[in-house]
Amino acid sequence: MTFELICEIEPPTKPDLKRVRHQIGTLSTIAHSFLIPDNHIGRATVSSVAVAHEVQAMGGRGIACLNSRDRNLLGFRRDLLTAAAYGVDQFLFVYGDKPTSGNRTSDLTVRSMIEEARKFSPDFRVGAAAAMRPLPAWKRTADFLFLQVGFSLEAQLRWREAHPVDVPVYAGVMVLASERHARNLAAAIPDIAIPDDLIRRVAADRMAGVEAACEQVLKIRDSGAFAGVHLIPVARYRDVESRLAAALR
């Protein structure tokens, strides 16, 4: 079975796709497909469906992330129609981080989004996010699962063994770009345990986060426990590509 690397794209917060295209072009040497976040971290960005279409126009495979936070049922149906018109047929449905402005809508849940997408088109592939805790039964109906970002291979393997499912599961790996990035992440998402040793290494060497993430990707591949990795390179995508291009061949 092919080990898949799904690279997350940083979507633009301005109406300019130049940087998106550069990310796609750079990471296409290692990525099997690209995940495009949806107003991630509560900030407005270019539509994930539009960026997924751009990925496909450049010869890649796009997965559009859609959150329940920002849309009601009518808005969600609009997004599905737009995706179908653009030929985008893969989605990751998530709850969504706390918005920096405006309010969270309560019209949809991830579960209802999966059900609605199934009714809209049997050809859509829909995924859900899995936290490092017991897996709800309804999430097993998804076509694939993205396990939350973790910095311990052992913890990821324990979760995988405790939660056997018949669909592909992709382990989350993130590059820590700086000590500040690490501490902000730990403060924002208490479920994510970042080893103190890794934070110290990142503080002393700006490349330590890249090297740790690339090493984790290769160890996950060698474990055979996951279908692949959901890799979040943040702004370090050039460094990630240069280190993984040869190692993943």
pLDDT at 104: 56
pLDDT at 192: 86
pLDDT at 41: 67
Q: Is 50 helix (H, G, I), strand (E, B) or coil?
A: helix
Alpha-carbon distances, residue 232 vs 31, 35, 163 (angstroms): 12, 9, 23
Asked whether the beta carbons of 146 and 129 are under 8 A apart, the reply is yes
Write the single-letter amino acid at 108: L
Q: Say how far apart CA 78 and CA 62 lie, in whole Å.
A: 18
Q: Write out residues in the chain with pLDDT < 70, as ranges.
A: 41-42, 97-105
pLDDT at 189: 78
Q: Say how far apart CA 36 and CA 39 lie, in whole Å.
A: 10
